[in-house]
Amino acid sequence: MNDFLEIVKYTLPSLIVFITAYLIIRGFLDNETNKQRAEINLGNQRLLTPIRLQAYERLILFMERSAPEALIMRVQLQGMNAKQLKQSMIDAVRKEFEHNMSQQIYISPKAWEAVRNAKENLIKLINVAGGKIPPNANALNLGQHILEIYMAVDQPPLVSAMSLLKEEFYESFIDG
């Protein structure tokens, strides 16, 4: 029994010192790991923030350029008929959208879905208006009809998408 007490007398303090040292070292290493993760995250934020800002800017610009009044003024040429204007408008919207597709990485899926829906609804509006005007009619007639339909909608998808993008931008960069 004496031998057992001697062993315990030397082992127990050693065990307590070992456990204490282990917990202190583990805490230190966890703290260092967390610091390194925080530094990496901060570095990533410094790199991504300008890119994300640019994504919001580019998508807002896409929405502004796709607004029917801006689109008609930009693509309509002298002597165009309704069919040519319709096709030019659709091509311009698709090309601009394809140019900005990579921006979806930097915004929320909800905002990207709104942008995509706005584009699809705009193309649908152009097709509907184009279907109600004879193909050989003057392009001005088609442009006027598109604007009338667009203005009749309470909350056009382009406006909704821009509002969502702006709201998300302010939450991410201004308020948050």
pLDDT of residue 158: 92
The answer to the question of residue 169 being in a domain is: yes
The answer to the question of residue 86 being in a domain is: yes
The answer to the question of residue 114 being in a domain is: yes
The answer to the question of residue 7 being in a domain is: no
The answer to the question of residue 33 being in a domain is: no
Please tell me the total count of domains within the chain: 1
Beta-carbon neighbour count of residue 104 at 10 Å? 16
Q: What is the DSSP string of 13-75?
A: HHHHHHHHHHHHHHHHHHHHHHHHHHHHHHHHHHHHHHHHHHHHHHHHHHHHHHSHHHHHHHH
pLDDT of residue 132: 92
pLDDT of residue 164: 94
Beta-carbon neighbour count of residue 66 at 10 Å? 22
> What is the average per-residue pLDDT within 86-115?
96
State which residues form the domain around 156: 53-175
Across all residues in the chain, what is the average pLDDT?
A: 91
**Whether 133 contacts 141, CB under 8 Å:** yes
Q: How confident is the model at residue 128 (pLDDT cuts 50, 70, 90)?
A: very high
Report the alpha-carbon distance of residue 19 to residue 173 in Å, rounded.
46
Where is pLDDT greater, at 70 or 45? 70
The answer to the question of residue 134 being in a domain is: yes
Return the SS3 of 134: coil
Where is pLDDT greater, at 40 or 27? 27
The answer to the question of residue 32 being in a domain is: no
SS3 helix, strand, coil % of the chain, rounded to 5?
A: 90, 0, 10
Q: How confident is the model at residue 173 (pLDDT cuts 50, 70, 90)?
A: confident
The answer to the question of residue 145 being in a domain is: yes
